[in-house]
Amino acid sequence: MLEARFPGLETCRDRNRSKSTHKHHHHFDNKTVDQLNFRKRFKLNIIAITHEEKTEVDISPDTLLFTNDEIVVIGRNEDLKQFQDYNSRP
């Protein structure tokens, strides 16, 4: 069961892909999705960002990320696991 191994992970119908919600890494602060090269770097798609209790689903390369933002990403389970590992680093 993926939910037990990866908190916050929700499985899609395709068992190889999942959706996950994260507080992002502090190195992402005040950077755009494009500056982070997010899709290429992590092989994940950001489908929503919650900033100060407002959720934005129209994510563009110019979308800024800030400390304490919550991001919802979707992608392959192995890529989500790598992102979770990266995101939990100090």
pLDDT in tens, 48-67: 888 898 999 999 999 999 88
Sign of CA dihedral 63, 67, 68, 72: positive
Query: What is the average pLDDT across 73-77?
Result: 85
- Per-residue model confidence (pLDDT) at position 18: 56
Could you give the C-alpha distances from 26 to 2, 18, 50, in angstroms and in order?
26, 23, 15
Which residues make beta-bridge pairs with 41?
A: none
Give the C-alpha separation, 20 to 14, whole Å.
14
Give the C-alpha separation, 45 to 65, whole Å.
14
pTM: 0.71
pLDDT in tens, 4-34: 334 454 545 555 655 556 665 577 889 999 9
